[in-house]
């Protein structure tokens, strides 16, 4: 059984295993072939976060091995991000010996298929040992079919010593592909609405972040003369931020979005939910007289939207077809007036060092952007500086940005390790808040252990900045637990084996960042910043 399962994974290119083993998993892992790579994380939240980043960066499913119910529970916070990012993950968890599960002996995963729901597309426990490989096959195909997402399989550990079923050969040769796309009549209908619009606007989501769809989205925007917004809390960047059509990321509030869409008669949302609000700020969902069209690969997203006409279809072919179908318009004068958006802004170091013991986040981010490689990959989990990040960081290529899709903390540091493992030719820079960092800090050990050269930049302001922002809006500044002072991230990093330093001036930051980029190992830079920033 063991050999057949490994061969199934090999046939699908899933030769990296992210895990933190327990006794229930040892019988499976003991048979791991030499051509497989095991990436150990010290906590299951970090394990799943690394796999999430790896799968998003490769565009292929990643394999995760967790320890029974306890390990699954530890990973659930990170699983929320994978679910909302449509990340294809095949998550396995060791189960107790099959005949003892009903007794609820120690390390039994009672009602295993219910435990990870509703954060997985599919959850299963094989009905018998001979069904293990088929169940794994079903899981990996389910994970990759639109909409992609995590799946979960609990396997009793005595199953691994059983003989494989006779149908294994068929499973190893099996392929499932997605076909079809929008009918020509539907493409013509959508194109007709867009052509008739006086001021169309595009709102793009993470499902557009692929090389082909990204290019086609640029063509679509240019032919329509349409400005482009990124959907609220997008986990990836679907459009080059240096393009003159780019306007930024929409706020995660009803009135905030409505204000920014005012003046547009047709809104086309592609590859994103409509919409994932966060801050409760009630109002009209759309400006008066505005029509919304929604193209999604996720039936659930289409069904639960509070407004708009939706079509469910694979995103890539739909964007390509629409880009060809719409009637070209002249380039808007406002794009030319915007000037060159692909120019670095390196803050004056001396000016940034004067008048305050802490740096301004916007200046820190502008410094990083000016010195980073053009093809840098950014992992952002400094949630109180999202506005500053989008304003400062220039991203030109697909696969350049990753953010926790559900807003659940603990994604950034592990995901950065996973993305760097998946994309070793591009340098990964993780911008992490000091509050967020503590949820995924053990990823530093994995980065050091496997020499993964991520540059971790900790924006240390001694507080939960995003939470303090909400406390201000909700008149709740007297709530406890808003601050996290006194954490020495340099010492923590060095304890995990990662070289680290502290920057309290922009000059210090320049030196430390350039040194980190030249290193072949992970490096952490702690930067002292002011508590207030643009969200």
Considering 12, 43, 44, 399, which one is annotated as catalytic? 44
Contacts of 10 (CB under 8 A, 6+ apart): 33, 35, 36
Q: Is 44 among the catalytic positions?
A: yes
Q: DSSP 3-state helix, strand, coil percentages of the chain (rounded to 5)?
A: 40, 15, 40
In angstroms, the CA 209 to CA 148 distance is 14
Tokens read off for 533: 């920033």
Tokens read off for 177: 């592909």
Q: Is 67 among the catalytic positions?
A: yes
Burial 287-309 (b: 16+ CB within 10 A, else e): beebbbbbbbbbeebbeebeebe
Write the DSSP string, 67-98.
-HHHHHHHHHHHHHHHHHTT--EEEEEEE--G
Considering 13, 23, 184, 331, which one is annotated as catalytic? 23
Pick from 372, 452, 374, 457: which is nearest to 418 by CA?
452
Contact (Cβ atoms closer than 8 angstroms) between residue 49 and residue 78: yes
Q: Which residues pair with 201 in a beta bridge?
A: 227, 267
Phi, psi of 519, deg, nearest 5 = -80, 160
In angstroms, the CA 398 to CA 217 distance is 11
CA-angle at 386, arms to 441 and 416, nearest 5°: 35
Considering 12, 43, 67, 294, which one is annotated as catalytic? 67
Phi, psi of 500, deg, nearest 5 = -150, 160
In angstroms, the CA 12 to CA 5 distance is 11
In angstroms, the CA 323 to CA 176 distance is 28
Strand stretches in 47-112, DSSP E: 62-66, 89-95
Q: What is the torsional sign of CA 334, 339, 340, 345?
A: negative
Considering 19, 22, 256, 308, which one is annotated as catalytic? 22
Considering 31, 59, 248, 407, which one is annotated as catalytic? 407
Half-sphere exposure of 407 (CA within 13 A, CB side): 11
Considering 31, 70, 186, 278, which one is annotated as catalytic? 278
Considering 12, 19, 25, 433, which one is annotated as catalytic? 25
Contact (Cβ atoms closer than 8 angstroms) between residue 277 and residue 262: no
Catalytic residues: 22-23, 25, 44, 67, 278, 407
């Amino acid at each position: 059984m063991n050999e057949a399962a490994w061969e199934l994974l090999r046939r699908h290119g899933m030769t990296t295993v992210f895990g933190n083993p327990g006794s229930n998993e040892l019988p499976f892992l003991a048979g791991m072939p030499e051509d497989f790579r095991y990436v150990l994380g010290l906590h299951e939240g970090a394990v799943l976060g690394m796999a999430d980043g790896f799968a998003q960066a490769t565009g292929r499913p990643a394999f995760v091995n967790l320890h029974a119910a306890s390990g699954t529970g530890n990973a659930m916070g990170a699983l929320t991000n994978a679910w909302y990012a449509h990340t294809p993950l095949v998550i396995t968890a060791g189960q107790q010996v099959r005949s003892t599960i009903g007794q609820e002996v120690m390390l039994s995963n009672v009602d295993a298929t219910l435990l990870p729901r509703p954060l997985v597309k599919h959850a299963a426990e094989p009905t018998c040992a001979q069904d293990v490989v088929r169940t794994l096959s079903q899981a990996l195909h389910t994970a990759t079919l639109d909409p992609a997402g995590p799946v979960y399989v609990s396997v009793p550990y005595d199953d691994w010593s059983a003989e494989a079923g006779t149908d294994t050969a068929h499973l190893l040769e099996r392929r499932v592909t997605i076909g079809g796309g929008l009918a020509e009549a539907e493409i013509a209908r959508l194109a007709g609405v867009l052509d008739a619009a006086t001021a169309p606007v595009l709102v793009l989501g993470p499902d557009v972040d692929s090389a082909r769809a990204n290019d086609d989205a640029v063509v679509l925007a240019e032919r329509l003369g349409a400005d482009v917004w990124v959907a609220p809390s997008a986990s990836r960047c679907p459009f080059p931020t240096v393009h003159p059509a780019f306007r930024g990321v929409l706020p995660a509030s009803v009135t905030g979005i409505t204000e920014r869409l005012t003046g547009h008669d047709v809104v086309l949302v592609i590859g994103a939910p409509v919409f994932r609000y966060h801050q409760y700020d009630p109002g009209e969902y759309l400006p008066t007289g505005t029509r919304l069209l929604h193209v999604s690969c996720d039936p659930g997203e289409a069904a639960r939207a509070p407004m708009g006409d939706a079509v469910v279809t694979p995103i890539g072919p739909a964007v390509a077809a629409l880009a060809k179908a719409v009637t070209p318009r002249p380039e808007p004068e406002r794009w030319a007036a915007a000037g060159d958006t692909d120019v670095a802004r390196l803050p004056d170091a001396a000016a940034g060092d004067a008048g305050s013991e802490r740096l301004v986040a916007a200046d820190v981010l502008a410094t990083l952007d000016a010195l980073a490689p053009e093809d840098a990959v950014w992992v952002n989990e400094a949630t109180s500086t999202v506005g500053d990040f989008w304003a400062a960081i220039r991203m030109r290529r697909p696969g350049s940005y990753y953010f926790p899709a559900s807003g659940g903390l603990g994604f950034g540091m592990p995901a950065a390790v996973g993305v760097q493992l998946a994309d070793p030719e591009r340098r990964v820079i993780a911008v992490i808040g000091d509050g967020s960092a503590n949820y995924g800090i053990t990823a530093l050990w994995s980065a050091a252990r496997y020499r993964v050269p991520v540059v971790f930049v900790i924006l240390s302001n001694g507080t939960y900045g995003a939470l303090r922002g909400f406390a201000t809006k909700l008149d709740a500044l007297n709530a406890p637990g808003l601050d996290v002072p006194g954490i020495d991230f340099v010492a923590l990093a060095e304890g995990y084996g990662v070289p680290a330093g502290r920057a309290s001036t922009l000059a210090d930051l320049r030196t430390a960042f350039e040194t980190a980029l030249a290193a072949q190992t992970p490096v952490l830079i702690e930067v002292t910043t002011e508590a207030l920033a643009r969200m």
